[in-house]
Structure 1
Amino acid sequence: MLLFSILSAIVTAGLLGAALLWTRRQPDDERQTAREDYARFVAEMDRRVANGVIEASLAHEEKLEAARALLKADAAGEGARRSVSPLLGLIGAFVIAGGALGLYLVTGKPELPDQPYQQRLDAWMAQAETQPETMASKPLSEVLKRKAAENTEDPQYWMFLGRLQVMSGDYYDGAKSFRVAVTKAPDNAEAWSNMGEALTLMNEGKSGPDARTAFEEALKRDPNDLSGQYYMGKVLIAEGRFEAARAMLGGLREQLPVGDPRRQAVETELAALEQAQTVDAQTRGQIAGMVAGLEARLADNQENPDGWARLLRSYRVLGDVASEARVLADIERVYQKRPEIKASIIEKANRPVGSQ
């Protein structure tokens, strides 16, 4: 551990040197660094979207969060610099560095040999050669990644690597591996459904457009693909297509033997479907009551642009295409000579529910 102790001393000296530089830094250094970090983050998000490894909506949310953090840093930066004394900062650096070194000497294990990452990786690789069944998914996936150059054209390699990465919680890397697998073997339904699952897990359990497409591709190639049926059933529930979801999940349940733990997961989704359908029916009933009231008020007073917008949006939510077309024709008739009002009504109707 002598090397580690020397490195610790060097790091400590570097921290003290950084503290001294901090007392002489320019006021805008931190802001400039934060802006550069933000620019690099945005560029990385754009690259991932372009490469198809992350959904555009998710990337947009991440960039918004980064922008908010940058604005907060800019707003707080000046006050923080005024409130912290350079001398206190220097004293704090000495205390932190000294405390960290003392904690290491007291509670650490300086008598043990150091274990750098490469050494641990070498040990994992040796273990993988003799006892791979004893390894956890994370170290085994790290070992397997070192074999990528030897297996670039082998879809089964990328499938196995992707499974290990998903088991390790590395959903982003797992999705990348499965994407390579479907490129090498586009007719492999399991590769498609596995990629959709990784994308769903990466998106906190929500299947976005890319995941949905992956499940559709899986079921095109194998209508009995278990993962494809399960996740597509959940997608159909989220879309309000309850009968299609019931048929999908019901068919999947029949494929699974009694006692199979996966069957319980399907039963849970079928129960969630019934609850979602009940809530949807209640919501539609409420909307229908509101629609009837709107229709009556508009019959008495057609000069109500907000009312027309709400009525049009309500029929769209209900999926009543015929009534939507009828309302559009009424709007055209009432505002034929005032196209700017008609355009405003259409624009309001197109806004997401709750955005007003």
Structure 2
Amino acid sequence: MSLFLILALMTAAAIFAVLWPLSRRPPDEAVAKDQDLAVYRDQLDEIERDRKSGLIAAAEADAARVEISRRLLAAAEASAKAASEPATGSPLWRRRVAALVALIALPALSAGLYLHWGSPQLPGAPLAGRLNAPLENRSIESMVAQVEAHLEKNPDDGQGWQVVAPVYMRMGRFNDAVRARANTIRLMGSTAEREADLGEAQVAAANGVVTADAKATFQRALKADANNVKAQYFTGLAAEQDGRPDEAARIWRTMLAAAPANAPYRQLIQRSLARVSPDAPAVEPVAPAPGPTQEDIAAAKELTPEQRQQMVRGMVDRLAERLKSDSSDFEGWLRLVRAYVVMGETQKAREAFISARAAIGDDAEKRKRLDELAKGLGIEG
């Protein structure tokens, strides 16, 4: 019933929009001409006052008076002509026909079109049904909504918080990412990676400032793993922001010395080091990162949805090819598994999961993270 009430209100509004101008009388042309005459007379009086007060010269006053007098005569003739002619406008019968069309034909036509082309008996689709649509037909927002609905009913599901946290980061919902990562640690325990991820979200939520809370988080991460790259980098950034460039340079130089030659984060550290150390080495070229660059993001905005999908497919394929030749990139394997799931290619996600397990060998911590990801994405087994 609410739908038909809305349609009735919309129809009434359309009828009102048609009847309103029909109910207004057309302006009286003779009255308008009389108003013009009054204006010209006032202008003549104004010119005379300006001449007497010395604001304009006599010659200018005479010229202006002649021009306004000419317009006054023309307006007077038009006024007399309008008064002698019968009033024009829409005949009464035309106005009545238009009113009848608005009152009867318009609602009847609208109802007929809706009953023919619409589906008045089709029930509304519940949210749960829409969320259960095939993965490839769903947007990232709908999938996040599904996870949020699940977490609202199951707030102690650590896996759910861990899965949604990186999605919040990509969507720019940094405060939600902080909450999700804090809940992950609370429910699943503290690890160096989880603490570093939480600190990263805290920095993002503070617009790039390493706050006191973020510093404490990174310190916990370094206490668990002194070689955690993310925690090391942000600790250096904190030193730079606190006015201790020498300390920041020391941290980043140590990271560069320990980083593999093909590490994707080398350029970031080198650029950061250049800000605090004039004698820093030049930025070394490295292989392109598997994720999109700023240029990719800018170009993607100009693409059609089909072209954008092809671009994403290309990045995922390049990541898969790179992992075939360098299977030691554990974070790359995690990204590849997530990407395949988001793209709806569950079988490829399982294959990537199996390849990742083979690549990490007997590393218990990495196996645990990989198994948790697979369980959260529903591809375990």
Tell me, yes or no, whether TM beats 0.5.
no
Structure of higher CA gyration radius: 2
TM-score by length of 2: 0.39
TM-score by length of 1: 0.41
